Amino acid sequence: MTGQTMVKAEGVHKSYGAAHILRGIDLEVQNGEVFCLVGPSGSGKSTFLRCINHLERIDGGRLSVDGQLVGYRQKGDKLYELKDSEVAVQRRDIGMVFQRFNLFPHMTALANVMEAPIQVKGDSKAVARERAERLLDRVGLRDKMGNYPSQLSGGQQQRVAIARALAMEPKLMLFDEPTSALDPELVGDVLDVMRDLAESGMTMIVVTHEMGFAREVGDSLVFMDGGVVVESGNPRDVLTNPQHDRTKAFLSKVL
pLDDT digit string, tens, across residues 63-86: 999 999 999 998 998 889 999 999
Residues 50-65 pLDDT 10s? 999 999 999 999 999 9
Closest listed residue to residue 170, CA positions, set 117, 88, 94, 254: 94
Encoded amino acid at 181, one letter: A
Does the pLDDT at position 117 exceed 70?
A: yes
Statement: the pTM of the whole predicted model exceeds 0.85: yes
1 pLDDT more than 50: no
**What is the percent of the chain where pLDDT is above 70?**
99
Please report which confidence band the pLDDT of residue 98 belongs to, taking 50, 70 and 90 as the band edges. Answer: very high
State the average pLDDT over residues 99-128.
Answer: 95
Q: CA-CA distances (angstroms) from residue 69 to 7, 21, 87, 130, 165?
A: 10, 21, 10, 33, 22
- Can you give the pLDDT at residue 3? 58
The stretch 99-107 carries a mean pLDDT of 94
Residue 255's pLDDT is what? Answer: 82
